[in-house]
Amino acid sequence: MKKGQELTGKVLYVNFPNKAVIETEEGLVTAKNALPGQEVKVRVIKNRKGKPEASVLEVIKEADDAVKAQCPHFGQCGGCTFLTMTYEKELKLKQEQAKKLLDTVVEPESYVWEPIKASPVFEGYRNKMEFSFGDEYKDGPLSLGMHKRGSFYDVVMTDSCYICDEDYRKILKSVRDYWADKGYKFFHKMRHEGYLRHLLVRKAVYSGEIMVALVTSSESNPDLTEFTDMLLSLDLKGKIVSILHTINDSTSDVVQSDRTDILYGRDYIEETILGLKFKISEFSFFQTNSRSAEVLYSAVRDFIGDLSEGGEPDKIVYDLYSGTGTITQLMSPVAKKVIGVEIVEEAVLAARDNTKLNGINNCEFICGDVLKAIDDIDQKPDFIILDPPRDGIHPKALPKILNYGVDRIVYISCKLTSLIRDLEPIQAAGYKVERAVCVDQFPWTGGIETIVLLSKK
């Protein structure tokens, strides 16, 4: 196959997270954004070492069991992948992808593989959305939404997004219309000029509290009183309790803060997970699907089991990469002490506030990189929980963690390929995979959470 060659073929299967294997008259080729059973036209973009990769030009024919996408933005927006599949078929595909990957590093029959746990909701499930300001085409009108599939620049106005609820859609449209009427420009990624950058919206599922954060550059300094009043006048099912203005002059396209001002209310919302209350600030890490998070954390507690074995809690537990301390607090009833380690200072401060909010006094939170922070902890662990970011555990931190030689480790992963990479040295250190299960935190997207229980041989 040659670069630029156009071929047609049928999708045989899709590997994690989004690599379709397509059978063509010239042989097998891989491409993103194609689904099992589709007949597609592709263009070869490279062929290295006999492994051709292509881009999908068009779907010639949908799979026989395809359904109509529930979202009008599907195909343009880069957010969702599986909206032309039934949810049952999506779950089956994700389960197969995870098992196939896990079996590359673990003997297939040596562990208990449990059925995937579905999300209790799969429409309007997001409790956080980060929208970008931009335009849908060069020099087009102001847009606010998600990046167009395969594009770094173009932004699709996702005012009918299926995975966030009606309040998000009303806020998004109102904010776009407000700034379009005012004539303000979006921050241009190449020229590094313009005012409007992002809109962050968080909504607690159980309390209904809403946070709206406008992220801009410091190029302009408009009075935001009218903007605040406009938001507060919206007819929403939830209640806005926090309106923030975050200034970000970074040249990179990330949501971060050089300074944040409170325009209305407070700088957090409150959510409840499994009976525990949590304050969630603008940059706090919190699972984006609150109802499925309860499924995830219940599964984690089940994997951990009874540490006290019927007696008084006497075990020291490390919760590494602890975020805002959700798992740390859920472990507190069955442990003598739980020590959470997290590098993001804001998350650590929130975790400490949350333990006070819930009246928990046997949790300690340390702010620092796991690689260095664990060297300074005097109390050695009896049990370790690992919930690292997408890239997994730092290769220099992993040997230190394994040197504790604890009997059991629970690893929670949001990126299967990182988990697979880390499992090899973990098993080489004498640990055996006992149980594994997937939890669908992110319906319609390629993401999946995987929990693995490891025990010392």
Q: What is the DSSP string of 337-355?
A: EEEEEES-HHHHHHHHHHH
- When pLDDT is averaged across residues 370-393 and rounded to a whole number, the result is 93
Q: Which of 5, 130, 109, 7 is nearest to 60 (CA)?
A: 7
Confidence tier at 240 by pLDDT (50, 70, 90) = very high
Q: Which of 71, 80, 161, 414 is catalytic?
A: 414
262-300 per-position pLDDT tens digit: 999 999 999 999 999 999 989 888 899 999 999 999 999
According to the model, what pLDDT value does residue 190 have? 83
- When pLDDT is averaged across residues 31-53 and rounded to a whole number, the result is 92
The C-alpha atoms of residue 391 and residue 335 are separated, in whole angstroms, by: 29
According to the model, what pLDDT value does residue 153 have? 85
According to the model, what pLDDT value does residue 311 have? 67
Which helix (H) or strand (E) segment holds residue 6: the answer is strand 6-15
> Residue 428 — φ and ψ, nearest 5°?
-65, -25
Please tell me which residue, 284 or 84, carries the higher pLDDT value. 84
Q: Where are the beta strands (DSSP E) in 253-362?
A: 259-265, 268-273, 276-281, 316-320, 337-342
Strands 209-216 and 128-135: unpaired
According to the model, what pLDDT value does residue 285 have? 83
According to the model, what pLDDT value does residue 92 have? 96
Confidence tier at 138 by pLDDT (50, 70, 90) = confident
According to the model, what pLDDT value does residue 252 have? 83
Confidence tier at 121 by pLDDT (50, 70, 90) = very high
Q: Does the structure show a pLDDT above 80 at 308?
A: no
Using CA atoms, how far residue 420 sits from 97, 98, 224, 417, 426, in Å, is 12, 10, 48, 5, 10
Q: How close are the terminal C-alpha atoms of the chain, in Å?
A: 48
| Contact residues for 146 (Cβ-Cβ < 8 A; gap 6+) | 73, 77, 78, 79, 131, 132, 155, 156, 158, 161
Q: Which of 17, 24, 27, 55 is nearest to 39 (CA)?
A: 24
Q: What is the mean pLDDT of the chain?
A: 93
> Residue 172 — φ and ψ, nearest 5°?
-60, -50
408-449 per-position pLDDT tens digit: 999 999 999 999 999 999 999 999 999 999 999 999 999 999
| Contact residues for 62 (Cβ-Cβ < 8 A; gap 6+) | 37, 38, 84
Whether 335 contacts 315, CB under 8 Å: yes
According to the model, what pLDDT value does residue 401 have? 96
Confidence tier at 93 by pLDDT (50, 70, 90) = very high
Q: Which of 167, 39, 28, 118 is nearest to 299 (CA)?
A: 118
Q: Where are the beta strands (DSSP E) in 324-387?
A: 337-342, 363-367, 383-386
342-379 per-position pLDDT tens digit: 998 888 998 999 999 999 999 999 999 999 999 999 99
- Does 414 qualify as catalytic in the annotation? yes
According to the model, what pLDDT value does residue 309 have? 66
How would you list the strands of the sheet with 337-342, edge to edge? 112-113, 431-439, 449-456, 408-413, 383-386, 316-320, 337-342, 363-367
155-172 per-position pLDDT tens digit: 999 999 999 999 999 999
Q: Does the structure show a pLDDT above 70 at 310?
A: no
Helix, strand, coil distribution of the chain in percent, nearest 5 = 25, 35, 45
Question: Quick one: 82 exposed, middle or buried, by C-beta within 10 A (0-12, 13-18, 19+)?
Answer: buried
